[in-house]
Amino acid sequence: MTAPQPPTAGQHAFAPGRRGAARTIDVSMLAPGGFGHRSLMWWGTLGLVLIEGTMFALTIGAYFYLRERNTYWPPQNIAPPDLLWGTLNLLVLAASAIPNEIAKKAAERIDLRAVRLWLVVCLAFGVAFNAIRVFEFLHLNVTFSNDAYGSIVWMLLGLHTVHIATDVADTAVLTALMFIGPVEEKRFVDVEENAVYWYFVVATWLPIYGVIYWAPRII
């Protein structure tokens, strides 16, 4: 059995009707998917964002709880993290929102050429971000085993690193699929949702950056 020819966008409908004695709602002309909040995966991603967002919020809460329990924060003889690498990363990550948005828009236009191009650009940003992250760790001026301050700072930065690393891995697989896999219309929805999750990772860096780099300086 072959699939019925799909209608084009804007023509979708479900049609109330009747077949014999039965009243029916015919959904055969409904689209086989949809972008944004229409899609199941968009909601699934939102669930993940809630879980991970709670995790970050609690970790920041733990940071300030431990800060409250210590007289010196950071402990004496420990300098706050160097601003250079973290701030550079803030700029890189903020800038990555631009190719991310262009890739998202290209996906919504179903423009394969542009999606391929901008996914690669996003990926380059992601790799750069992870590379700079190594220097961030090296310039925290404290190790995780030094004291509770070091532990919680490493925990915050580590948690965020897990997210950027996995998101880069996701994006790499998706990019590969858009180049070599069987490309289907639904895959453009995946690209869009990948962009949504990337935004989450960017957005969480703002408070975490503020806590790691500025809380020891100004609070």
Q: Answer yes or no whether residue 152 interacts with other proteins by CB under 8 A.
A: yes
Task: Dihedral sign for Cα 147, 148, 153, 154, please.
Answer: positive
Q: Residue 131 and residue 126: Cα distance in Å, rounded?
A: 9
Q: Please select the residue that binds other proteins; options are 83, 134, 185, 219, rule is CB under 8 A.
A: 185
| Residue among 88, 127, 177, 203 that touches other proteins (CB under 8 A) | 177
Least distance between other proteins and beta carbon 173 (Å): 5
* Pairs from 3-12 (Cβ < 8 Å, separation ≥ 24): 4/28, 6/31, 6/32, 7/31
- Should residue 47 be labelled a site residue for other proteins when binding is judged by CB under 8 A? yes
Residues contacting residue 41 through CB under 8 Å, at least 6 positions apart: 189, 190, 193
| Binds other proteins (CB under 8 A): choice among 91, 98, 173, 219 | 173
In this complex, which beta carbon is closest to other proteins, that of residue 94 or of residue 181?
Answer: 181
With binding defined as CB under 8 A, does residue 38 bind other proteins?
A: yes
CB of 95 to other proteins, least distance (A): 26
Residue 60 host element (H or E): helix 40-68
The CB-of-135 to other proteins minimum distance in angstroms stands at 20
Q: Does 219 bind other proteins (CB under 8 A)?
A: no
Torsion angles phi and psi, residue 14, rounded to 5? -110, 135
Q: 84, 91, 89, 88: which is closest to 139 by C-alpha?
A: 84
Q: Does 113 bind other proteins (CB under 8 A)?
A: no
What is the Cα–Cα distance from 102 to 115, expressed in whole angstroms? 8
Site for other proteins in 77-106 (CB under 8 A): none
| 155 sits near other proteins (criterion: CB under 8 A) | yes
